[in-house]
Structures are given as structure tokens and as C-alpha cells.
Chain A
Amino acid sequence: MDTAFLTRWIAGIADAVRAERDRLTELDAAIGDADHGANLDRGFGAAVQALADDPPAAPGALLRLVGGTLISRVGGASGPLYGTAFREAGRSLGSSGEASEVSLADLARALRAGLDGVTRLGSAAEGDKTMVDAFAPAVRALETAVSAGAGEREAFEAAASAALAGAEATVPMVARKGRASYLGPRSAGHEDPGAASCALIFAALCTADQGHG
């Protein structure tokens, strides 16, 4: 995967977030502060613009630029979280990220580093009703696919469906982290907006892959 693939991925996320903006905001209105859709729309829109203004030469630099843009432009809790995820993913690519292409295994390792960054920053674990409930199973599915020698398409589809299942599984959970945790039992019965947006991010990997050639 090269910078063209990653640029398609980020553009695909921006499109998906824009299309689902109202749904994300409704989910956030139920248990948060009703700004998740607007915040992510602004953040990923700014990331697409940043990549167009000054296209990074390598995958690692590209992911770091996306992370930095999200941190400075999102404005809600998801800014530091997704920003850290992309920044740490970019950093973990290290010298291989400065090559023009990264392998599926490199990307899986990078997303694992991104997930580690998110869990460190937010001190969240699976079951806390956060984006980690979609992020963690998606990374595991990707890693399993890599170990099994799967191709990109199959690996991305596995990750996307694991993220979606993880997001749906947050519905009955009682939030233990983030703004929703102040609601206690009242947070049950609603899908976590961060997990929902995380599922969109992994679904966009499939779209970016299909857009290849």
C-alpha cells in the first residue's frame, strides 16, 4: 500500500463521515454532547485538505499529518483519540514508513500501535463502551488475516466486519469511560458514537482497496 491508497482511505473516511454525520450526531445526542458527527466531518475534511495541500512522500508521514490535523481540528474528545491513533500508527511505521510502500503486515502493526496509543491516552479497555470496542476486534481480525496469509481485500473485509460487530455490541453496555460514563445505567441501549465512527474508518479500508486500479 502506498500514499495513493492511504489518501483514498482518508478521503473515503471523510465521505463516510459526511454521509453518516447526522446518525453519528444522533448517537452522540443520546449519550454525549451531540457534536461527534460535526467534529469528525470537520476533522477528516481538514485532513483531506491537508493531504491535498502538501502531499506527504511516505505512508508514515501521511498518517502523522492526518493525526496532527485531527488533533488540532476536531475539537471534541475524538480529536485527541483518533489523532493519537493516526499519529502513533504513522510513527510506528518508522523507517519502513519512509519507503514508498508498506505491506499489509506493516499496516496491521501500525494500526496496533494506533490502538495502543488510544488505550493509553483514554485508559479505556474493551467493554467500556468506547471506540476501543470496535477498534480492538478490527485490529485483531486484521492480524489474524495477516497470519493466515490473506490478501488485502479479505483482510480489510474481516477487519471491517469485526469493527461493525464490535460497534453493535456496545448497544447494551453501560459506559465506563468518556462523557457517557456520567450517565451511568442511562447510557445502556444506545450504540457508542465513537465505536460507530471507528467502524466507518475500517469500512473505508475496503472502499480504498476497491478503488485500486
Chain B
Amino acid sequence: MSNSSHGAQQSQTQAKLVLLGDMGAGKSSLVLRFVKGQFFEHQESTIGAAFMTQTVTVDDHVVKFEIWDTAGQERYHSLAPMYYRGAAAAIIVYDMQSQQSWQRAKSWVRELQRQGNANLVIALAGNKSDCKDMRKVSKEEAEAYAEEQKLSIFLETSAKSGECVNDLFYSIANKLPKQARATPQEGGRGGVVLDANAGQNRQKSQCC
């Protein structure tokens, strides 16, 4: 991992990454494990965190992930289209100990495909692999499904033990288009950046 800023020799991609999946599948836990290396047995629904960022380096290429959490809006099927806007990658998470969670994951895949973003890298993650004896969804079934739907990545992960969590994010970084992009949504003419320093570049009126 690297914190280097826009280095001359390193190209950088900024990538919005969204997480989808049923309540309790472990979306927030996966992000927390990846970004902070932490795991809490009774993770509260995340309060007050809009998104987290984490930078990874793959072959001298820096990918800065901007990771969006559903903020609980998936619970009553009320995720806003804004959530998907400009996303470069999506991770669909299911709890391998729950058939319901697996069925919901498949409907999230359909929902994503309906958005019609052909360049989106979609990863499927069967979470909670630390207690495989409780498994209700077989690896073969999920693998076959991922292949059939042409999903880019399938992995079984454990946010608790950390198994395959970094692999998941690094695989995504690998699949992203290599060319460095500007902040995906602000490109083009007339883009403006809002900040608190209102009117800083205000011109004083001058007599001519």
C-alpha cells in the first residue's frame, strides 16, 4: 500500500466502489477489515461514515478506492440511483450461511445489470467463510452463477479472520482500466469544486 500522491512515475486511478447485499451479510465489516484491519463481532450499522478511502498499488499503478456504504438504505429497497452513479466497481456480498442472503445477492446482480453500466467491475463475495460447517450456499453453485453472469470476480471471504479480504480488493484494482482518470464525475469543461472557502477567488471591483 502506498500513500504517494500524484507521483510523476506512478499513474493513479480514482475509483468509486459500492457495496451491495442484504442486511447482515457483512458489507461494513469487509470494508472495515480492508481499510482499518479491524473486526467487531457485533458491528453496529455504520453511523456517520459517508464513505471511506483506501489506496492500493498494483504494478506501480495506484488505485484510490472511494468506498461507499449503503447506509442502511437497502433495508427497505430504498437505495437511490445516485449510489451507483459513476461507480467503477461493485462488490455484492452475501452471507454463505444464509440462503435468503444468497437469493438477495442474485437480485442485486440483476439490479446492477439493469443500471446498464457495461464497464462496471462486479465482484461477488461469499462472506463468513470462517465457519464453513455452517455453510448453506455451496462454493460450486456460487462459482457457476458468477461465471454464467460474467461477473469479474468471485471469492469466499471472512471479514472476521481476514481471509481473502485484501485479495478481493486487489483483484478489483487489477481489473480496473489502467489509464489514470480524472475524478470520474468532475471531468470536462465547467466542472466546479464546492468547498467552504466561498468567494475566495472573488474579484474586488476596480476602477478602470
Q: Do A and B come from one complex?
A: no
